[in-house]
């Protein structure tokens, strides 16, 4: 997926970047302990090192750590949907929506391999501006 598709859209979160050939998730890695975090940081929450954080592109694959099925949400958001926490392959952890799975709270989805995909986010805001965001899909579908 190229950036042309999203060039007129604004990223929904600050750590979603639209530079180069395709969108990507931005994080920070500590040069002291190697821990990776989502978003920009100046202090490592793992070892408390200061000014040792470098900007990195986050992994786009990982495994489902935990999930919940959401039945009530904002107006215009179709429910039910699966809200997920994913352990990315680079050691960071990310929350988002898991698509293309049955929203069954009893499903055995734990440790499911997933891939990050980028899509237009719905609904639009009050001004009618559209956004794009990241989502997770089962890795077999990516």
Burial category of 92 from C-beta neighbours within 10 Å (exposed 0-12, middle 13-18, buried 19 and up): buried
| Domain residue spans of the chain | 3-141
Q: Is 21 exposed, middle or buried (0-12, 13-18, 19+ CB in 10 A)?
A: exposed
Over residues 41-64, the pLDDT tens digits come to 999 999 999 999 999 999 999 999
Taking the model in full, what pTM does it have?
Answer: 0.88
Confidence at 20, pLDDT banded by 50, 70, 90: confident
- Measured CA to CA, the distance from residue 4 to residue 40 in angstroms comes to 25
- The beta-strand segments (E) located in 45-80 are 53-57, 61-70
| Overall average pLDDT of the 127-142 stretch | 86
Q: Which residue did the predictor score with more confidence, 121 or 15?
A: 15
Give the C-alpha distances (Å, rounded to integers) separating 59 from 125, 127, 133, 138.
29, 33, 15, 15
């Amino acid at each position: 997926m190229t950036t042309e598709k999203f060039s007129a859209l604004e990223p929904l979160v600050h750590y979603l970047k639209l530079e180069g050939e395709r969108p990507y998730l931005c994080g920070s890695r500590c040069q002291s302990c190697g821990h990776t975090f989502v978003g920009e940081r100046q202090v490592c929450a793992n070892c408390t090192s200061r000014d040792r954080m470098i900007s990195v592109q986050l992994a786009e694959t990982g495994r489902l750590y935990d999930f919940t099925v959401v039945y009530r949400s904002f107006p215009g958001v179709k429910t039910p949907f699966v809200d997920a926490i994913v352990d990315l392959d680079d050691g960071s952890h990310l929350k988002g929506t898991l698509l293309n799975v049955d929203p069954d709270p009893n499903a055995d989805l734990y440790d499911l391999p997933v891939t990050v995909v980028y899509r237009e986010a719905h609904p639009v805001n009050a001004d009618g501006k559209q956004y794009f965001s990241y989502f997770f899909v089962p890795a077999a579908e990516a």
